[in-house]
């Protein structure tokens, strides 16, 4: 494919009526997140006739809302910044991090095929990646970890190239945008925060701001797409160019099964006028489950995620588990033995003006920075605030079993709030009134005042902060070793004047707090597969023509979160493997 991209002028049909009843395709893919799109696009690149089915009105799933970091060791771009990395080093790292919690053969399939999956997409589609000079593995204390090169991310994309198809891309989370809808990535944030400090940041910021306001005048949404929106938009662009078939607002009501073989799907689409279109679609290669996992499946959620309310889940709304249920009925089995059934992050919630609930994941922008700490209902620290968001979420739930810690409180002083913001509140320390009025943000002129607001013991909170301040002054967290790994220090503040970039005293009133809850950001438990992403039955045999990728597939990380992008990276890779196997089947190979 030429590197030159040209705008698409036609609108892709998303109506089920474009298909005849009992139509035949080479492959059906259920779900249009990163894993589903990888599967569909890889198959389309190979010349297959592909039908991509999405139950929501927009494509992208949770991937479109994410930073789209993609952990695939050994890529060409990654090795350019870390030429010393090797597959053996990756295997050592994963063996130590994951161990027997997942099948080592599947991990090896990922290590072996990940670079080929990325290379194929970069060579034959609009999907292009970039890599940062510092993007460490989360468990950086383990042998085999690296500080750079394994985590790649999509390059920004000009949404105008999608033409009339731009509205198909899932809109970003409003709380992750600025100026009424402008998407920002870490580069943008860096320059926007320094807008008045350097000419480079000023010119950069003015350029993206002017473009955003022109977009608001000329387009239904901002067209400068970054992170997850860029990943999905790039794959959608190429999928349209490859004449892929797409239906939205469409449910899979049945898998067409003959013996131990899946031969197609029954689909149902409700049109805007309330009428219903139904189609039987046969698939020569089979059906790929990429529907996002069980996170919004009422009964499975209750069984696997005890006590974690769905209202705390920041994942996209389409992850109902309905499609995965069909795979289980066809003989598929859920995996066991993982550290956790889900991946986690501490989240804060706030009701929007339209009545919906904003769920904000606290990934790296606040909790591990100087001047911040987290306490339970008794005003006591109980974890390392700079640990990965997954381990943070797990620690919240484990501690709650003995001392109420859901919610926990992320506490900071005025200086930290101004420097870093907190949750949905931007850096700068201004515009706090609405957040204080609705209770999202708690404020106390003294620590005792804040403790009263939080209904926690005053003396315990004061004692906790005083002890923490001593650690901050000395640069050593004697209780939880905060700021002792490369990962933790990378997410601190490199410009901080203290001895530890993750530790800063809380002394400047007023003091603030935001409530944190354990939010599941994706499913770790899913359908057991082999190395070709074929779903296995209770006897360990492949169900012919049935595949699972992404969070529908049992995670090769075994419920561990060792590095950034460990859901999208395997999702893209096993999408590539599923497409390769299914297309060969469609052609009788």
Asked if 273 and 366 sit in the same domain, the reply is no
pLDDT interval class at 1 (50, 70, 90): very low
Instruction: Please check whether residue 31 is in contact with residue 56, taking contact to mean a CB–CB distance below 8 angstroms.
Output: no
Asked if 447 and 538 sit in the same domain, the reply is no
Instruction: Please check whether residue 339 is in contact with residue 560, taking contact to mean a CB–CB distance below 8 angstroms.
Output: yes
Number of domains in the chain: 2
Instruction: Please check whether residue 304 is in contact with residue 523, taking contact to mean a CB–CB distance below 8 angstroms.
Output: no
Give the percent of the chain with pLDDT over 70. 99
Instruction: Please check whether residue 521 is in contact with residue 315, taking contact to mean a CB–CB distance below 8 angstroms.
Output: yes
CA distance 134 to 155: 16
Give the percent of the chain with pLDDT over 90. 94
Asked if 128 and 32 sit in the same domain, the reply is yes
544 three-class SS: strand
Q: Among 471, 497, 520, where does a domain finish?
A: 520
- Residue 392: pLDDT above 90? yes
Instruction: Please check whether residue 235 is in contact with residue 572, taking contact to mean a CB–CB distance below 8 angstroms.
Output: no
Output the CA–CA distances (angstroms, integers) from residue 411 to 36, 97, 123, 480, 484, in the order listed: 39, 31, 47, 17, 21
Name residue, tokens 């501690």.
Answer: 399
- Residue 40: pLDDT above 60? yes
Which of 255-259, 347-351, 501-505 has the lowest average pLDDT? Answer: 255-259
Instruction: Please check whether residue 46 is in contact with residue 304, taking contact to mean a CB–CB distance below 8 angstroms.
Output: no
Asked if 308 and 379 sit in the same domain, the reply is no
Structural domain harbouring 82: 1-181+221-341+524-589
Q: Is 189 inside a domain boundary?
A: no
Q: Among 479, 498, 520, where does a domain finish?
A: 520
Q: Is 105 inside a domain boundary?
A: yes
Asked if 563 and 505 sit in the same domain, the reply is no
Q: Among 498, 520, 542, where does a domain finish?
A: 520
pLDDT of residue 2: 44
What pLDDT, in 10s, does the model give residues 571-580? 999 999 999 9
**Phi, psi angle pair for 517, to nearest 5°:** -130, 155
Q: Could you tell me which residue, 219 or 135, shows the higher pLDDT?
A: 135
Cα 517–chain centre separation:
17
The mean pLDDT of 380-402, rounded to a whole number, is 98
Q: Is 197 inside a domain boundary?
A: no
Output the CA–CA distances (angstroms, integers) from residue 210 to 186, 216, 217, in the order listed: 19, 10, 11
Name residue, tokens 């009545």.
Answer: 355
The mean pLDDT of 195-206, rounded to a whole number, is 93
pLDDT of residue 578: 98
- Report the DSSP beta bridge partners of residue 372: 412
Instruction: Please check whether residue 264 is in contact with residue 582, taking contact to mean a CB–CB distance below 8 angstroms.
Output: no
Helices 34-45, 568-586: axis angle to 10 degrees equals 40
Q: Is 117 inside a domain boundary?
A: yes
Q: Is 127 inside a domain boundary?
A: yes
pLDDT of residue 216: 86
What pLDDT, in 10s, does the model give residues 538-572? 999 999 999 999 999 999 999 999 999 999 999 99
- From the list 216, 68, 219, 214, the residue with the least C-alpha distance to 155 is 68
- Burial of 213-247, coded b for 16+ CB within 10 Å and e otherwise, reads eebeeeeebbbbbbbbbbbbbbbbbbbbbbebbbb
Looking up residue 415, the CATH number of its domain turns out to be 3.90.700.10
Q: Is 203 inside a domain boundary?
A: no
Print the SS3 string covering 372-391: EEEECCCCCCCCCCCCCHHH
Cα-Cα-Cα-Cα torsion 398, 404, 405, 409, nearest 10 degrees, comes to -170
Asked if 153 and 296 sit in the same domain, the reply is yes
Which residues have C-beta within 8 Å of that of residue 418, sequence separation ≥ 6? Answer: 427, 428, 429
Asked if 511 and 373 sit in the same domain, the reply is yes
pLDDT of residue 3: 63
Output the CA–CA distances (angstroms, integers) from residue 125 to 1, 129, 584, in the order listed: 7, 11, 21
Asked if 577 and 491 sit in the same domain, the reply is no
Name residue, tokens 């389409």.
Answer: 318
CA distance 111 to 114: 6
What pLDDT, in 10s, does the model give residues 123-161? 999 999 999 999 999 999 999 999 999 999 999 999 999
Strand 441-444 and strand 511-523: the pairing is antiparallel
pLDDT of residue 271: 86
**Phi, psi angle pair for 477, to nearest 5°:** -85, 100
Which residues have C-beta within 8 Å of that of residue 404, sequence separation ≥ 6? Answer: 376, 377, 378
The mean pLDDT of 289-303, rounded to a whole number, is 96
Asked if 371 and 454 sit in the same domain, the reply is yes
Looking up residue 328, the CATH number of its domain turns out to be 3.50.50.60
Asked if 264 and 383 sit in the same domain, the reply is no
Mean pLDDT, the chain, whole residue set: 96
What pLDDT, in 10s, does the model give residues 10-36? 999 999 999 999 999 999 999 999 999
Beta strands in 60-132 (DSSP E): 70-71, 129-131
Which of 81-95, 130-144, 170-184, 443-457 has the lowest average pLDDT? Answer: 170-184
pTM: 0.96
Query: Is the peptide bond preceding residue 33 cis, with omega within 30 degrees of 0?
Result: no
Asked if 516 and 530 sit in the same domain, the reply is no
Asked if 367 and 301 sit in the same domain, the reply is no
- Report the DSSP beta bridge partners of residue 268: 251, 278
The mean pLDDT of 66-75, rounded to a whole number, is 97
CA distance 119 to 171: 28
């Amino acid at each position: 494919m030429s590197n030159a991209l040209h705008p698409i002028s036609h609108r892709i049909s998303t109506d089920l009526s474009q298909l005849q009843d009992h139509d035949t395709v080479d492959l059906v893919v259920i779900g249009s997140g990163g894993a589903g799109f990888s599967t569909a696009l890889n198959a389309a690149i190979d010349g297959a006739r592909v039908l991509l089915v999405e139950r929501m009105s927009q494509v992208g799933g949770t991937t479109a809302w994410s930073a789209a970091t993609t952990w695939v060791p050994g890529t060409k771009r990654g090795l350019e910044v870390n030429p010393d990395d090797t597959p053996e080093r990756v295997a050592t790292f994963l063996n130590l991090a994951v161990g027997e919690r997942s099948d080592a053969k599947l991990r090896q399939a990922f290590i072996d095929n990940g670079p080929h999956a990325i290379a194929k997409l970069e060579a034959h589609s609009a999907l292009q990646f970039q890599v940062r000079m510092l993007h460490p593995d989360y468990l950086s204390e383990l042998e085999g970890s690296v500080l750079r090169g394994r985590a790649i991310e999509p390059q920004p994309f000009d949404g105008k190239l999608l033409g009339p198809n731009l509205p198909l891309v899932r809109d970003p989370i409003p709380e992750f945008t600025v100026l009424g809808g402008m998407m920002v990535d870490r580069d943008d944030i860096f320059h926007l925060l320094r807008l008045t400090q350097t000419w480079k940041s000023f010119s950069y910021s003015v350029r993206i701001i002017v473009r955003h306001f022109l977009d608001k005048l000329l387009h239904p949404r901002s067209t400068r797409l970054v992170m997850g929106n860029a990943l999905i938009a790039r794959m959608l662009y190429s999928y349209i160019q490859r004449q892929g078939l797409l239906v939205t607002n469409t449910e899979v009501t049945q898998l067409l099964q003959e013996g131990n073989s899946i031969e197609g799907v029954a689909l149902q689409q409700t049109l805007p006028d309330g009428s219903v279109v139904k189609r039987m679609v046969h698939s020569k290669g089979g059906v790929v489950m990429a529907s996002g996992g069980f996170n919004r499946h009422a009964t499975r959620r209750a069984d696997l995620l005890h006590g974690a309310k769905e209202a705390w889940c920041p994942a996209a709304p389409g992850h109902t588990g309905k499609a995965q249920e069909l795979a289980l009925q066809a003989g598929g089995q859920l995996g066991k033995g993982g550290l956790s059934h889900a991946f986690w992050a501490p989240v804060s919630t706030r009701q929007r003006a339209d009545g919906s609930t904003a769920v904000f994941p606290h990934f790296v922008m606040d909790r591990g920075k100087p001047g911040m700490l987290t306490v339970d209902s008794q005003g006591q620290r109980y974890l390392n605030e700079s640990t990965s968001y997954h381990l943070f979420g797990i620690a919240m739930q484990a501690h709650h079993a003995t001392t109420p810690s859901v919610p926990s409180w992320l506490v900071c002083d005025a200086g930290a709030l101004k420097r870093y913001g907190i949750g949905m509140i931007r850096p700068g320390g201004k515009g706090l009134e609405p957040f204080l009025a609705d209770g999202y943000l708690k404020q106390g002129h003294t620590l005792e005042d804040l403790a009263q607001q939080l209904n926690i013991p005053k003396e315990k909170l004061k004692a906790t902060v005083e002890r923490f301040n001593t650690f901050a002054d000395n640069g050593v967290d004697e209780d939880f070793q905060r700021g002792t790994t490369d990962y933790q220090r990378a997410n601190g503040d490199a410009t901080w004047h203290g001895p530890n970039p993750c530790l800063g005293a809380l002394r400047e009133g007023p003091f603030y707090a935001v409530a944190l809850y354990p939010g599941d950001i994706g499913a770790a438990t899913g359908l057991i597969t082999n190395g070709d992403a074929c779903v296995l039955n209770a006897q360990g045999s492949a169900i012919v023509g049935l595949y699972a990728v992404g969070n529908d597939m049992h995670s090769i990380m075994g419920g561990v979160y060792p590095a950034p992008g460990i859901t999208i990276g395997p999702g893209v890779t096993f999408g590539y493997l599923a497409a390769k196997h299914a297309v060969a089947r469609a052609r009788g190979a």
